[in-house]
Structure 1
Amino acid sequence: MLLIVAIASWNTFKTLMDISERNSELTFMGSSGWRWHDESQRIQIKRVKNQLPALRKVSENGDYASLVTITQSGSYRGFVFFDTDCEDGAIVTERVPYDGIEQAKLEVLHCLHGKLVYIETWPSAPKINWQGRIGDFQFQEALSNWDFTPLQKAYLKSVAELI
């Protein structure tokens, strides 16, 4: 009987720790207001009144969070926030090959609100394996697995006109 109680206690403890760990992702890097959009994919959503929503996912290693928003013009903007402190205005740059072409492209990390961030824009919902390496900072996120429906619905609602 004591063994059964011990096993049940351990399983309860483990379950509570897993829930706590998952919920700590919702406040990654001190952020607030995030909710689960697709918990199985670890994708979160944040809705702020009078603004278009944002989706994000915290990396498995906890080094960064990938975030995608939709702009008022309908384009998609991606951000990768690295969990590294920096001084506002600082940048990290590196020249990298551009799509296998010898001409190099300058990649930049900006310090925004005390964290390094990489920014990219796409004309439509990105269905790519988004990855990059700038200096010692690298990221990889399979945006093809993300459901951008909430962003698209919010955008269409924001530009709809009554007739």
Structure 2
Amino acid sequence: MTKPLIFITGFIMLCVIVFASWSTFETLWRFNHKNNELTFMGSSGWQWHNKSQGLQIKRVDGYLPAMRKVSDSKEYASLISITESGNYRGFIFFDQNCEEGAIVSERVTYSAAEPPKLEVLHCLHGKLVYMKNWTTAPTERWRGRVGDFEFDEALNEWDFTPLQQAYLKSVAELI
């Protein structure tokens, strides 16, 4: 009777140890995987602004900050900054190497309500990038397809407060 009890106790302890080890490994893997987004495409200096939403922020002395989010597919990163004139600039950096300065893909879109629009993918810092400007904080879902590259980002869920505060601070004048 003692041997089966020892065997059963040992088996249960082994199962507990395996389960605990697997849970620890999985937790550490998720943590490391999420933090790898801070260095996506070799970038550095990014910090979490809202980790649950995947929003990152980068502050560099002498410059206005930028915010970005790495896509779930890890195929691109959406980046929004605010210019010194208060406009918003959007960039979609695709994880695709290219020759610096090249215009890689272009297409003309036609709409009954708007004049023809040329969409271009540029090569910036060795990565393909699509750009757009807004006069106010973007509040829409930014999606598109240029050449073989597609993106979809819910900018209406982003909190642009840090960009707006930095901009207002940069243009404030003491009276």
Structure of greater Rg: 2
Give the C-alpha shift of residue 103 in structure 1.
Answer: 5.0
Tell me what 1:109 maps to.
121
Query: Matched residues in 2 for 1:102 and 1:33: separation?
Result: 39
The one-letter code matched in structure 1 to 2:144 is G
Deviation of 1:48 after TM superposition, in Å, equals 0.5
- Structure (1/2) with the larger helix percentage: 2
Q: 1:103 to 1:121 in 2, by over 3 A?
A: closer
Selected match of 1:6 from 4, 15, 18? 18
Within 5 Å, give how 1:6-155 maps onto structure 2. Answer: 6-91=18-103, 92-98=105-111, 101=113, 104-155=116-167
Displacement after TM superposition at 1:101 (Å): 4.3
CA root-mean-square deviation: 1.2
Q: Counterpart of 2:8? A: none
Using the TM superposition, give the Cα deviation of residue 132 of structure 1 relative to its aligned residue in structure 2, in angstroms: 1.1
Instruction: Return the alpha-carbon distance in structure 1 between the equivalents of residues 100 and 173 of structure 2.
Output: 40
Measure, in 2, the Cα distance between the counterparts of 1:102 and 1:127: 20
Which has more strand, going by share of residues?
Answer: 1
Q: Which runs of 5+ in 2 are unaligned?
A: 1-12
Describe the superposition over 1:91-138 as per-residue Cα deviations: whole angstroms up to 9, x where unpaired.
Answer: 11012233x548532110111111111110000100010011111011
Shift of 1:5: 1.0
Instruction: Specify the SS of the correspondent of 2:153.
Output: strand
> What percentage of residue pairs aligned between the two structures are identical?
62
Structure 1 ranges of 4+ moved more than 6 A: none
Report the Cα offset of residue 50 of structure 1.
1.2
